[in-house]
Amino acid sequence: MRRAEIWTVSGGASRLAGTGAGQELAVPQAIACVQNPLNLADRASVPVLDECHARGIAFVPFFPLGSAMTPDNQVLANPRLRTAAGRLGRTPAQVALAWMLSLRPNVVLIPGTSSVRHLEDNLAAADIDLDDDTRQQLDQAAP
């Protein structure tokens, strides 16, 4: 067994969290991906995304379209997102997913969907190229 060493990123600084004296865990030889909350409204995990990118690890944003379990979805109701979507002739969800994909090449999206139509809408986000102005507007859209 190897001793587990887990790197965590908090407030932009990396630190090593050991398993404690004498404790050992069986761990895989590599980490395939990391999943953390990240979306247009919640960017607390950007430092983790950046660290994953630097290490060649895939990053899966959790709730890329915001939580469907809250009455006020801060992602899809965002005025800058809605404006960009209208200008591009796309849905707010498509533009939000396109923005997520544009953050880093190691972003892998797994948006939840309840129908084939929503799946097709989500897949269309990969074909959206955000211009610099739209990217800048969305980068500034966090509450």
Q: Over its length of 143 residues, how does the chain's per-residue pLDDT go in tens digits?
A: 334 444 444 444 444 444 455 544 444 558 889 999 999 999 999 999 999 999 999 999 989 998 877 778 899 999 999 999 999 999 999 999 999 999 999 999 988 888 999 899 999 999 999 999 999 999 998 87
Helices 116-124, 92-103: inter-axial angle, 10-degree rounding: 50
Cβ-proximal residues to 6 (8 Å cutoff; 6+ apart), any chain? 16, 17, 19
> What residue type is 5 in one-letter code?
E
Residue 11 lies in a domain: no
Residue 20 lies in a domain: no
Residue 21 lies in a domain: no
**Residue range of the domain that includes 98:** 32-139
Instruction: Supply the pLDDT for residue 142.
Output: 82
Report yes or no: 3 and 22 within 8 Å, Cβ to Cβ.
Answer: no
Instruction: Supply the pLDDT for residue 15.
Output: 43
Instruction: Supply the pLDDT for residue 100.
Output: 96
Residue 6 lies in a domain: no
Residue 1 lies in a domain: no
The secondary structure of residue 10, as a DSSP letter, is E
Q: What's the number of domains the chain is made of? A: 1
The secondary structure of residue 133, as a DSSP letter, is H
Instruction: Supply the pLDDT for residue 129.
Output: 93
Q: What is the DSSP string of 44-102?
A: TTHHHHHHHHHHT-EEEEESTT--TTSSS-TTTT-HHHHHHHHHHTS-HHHHHHHHHHH
| CATH assignment at residue 103 | 3.20.20.100
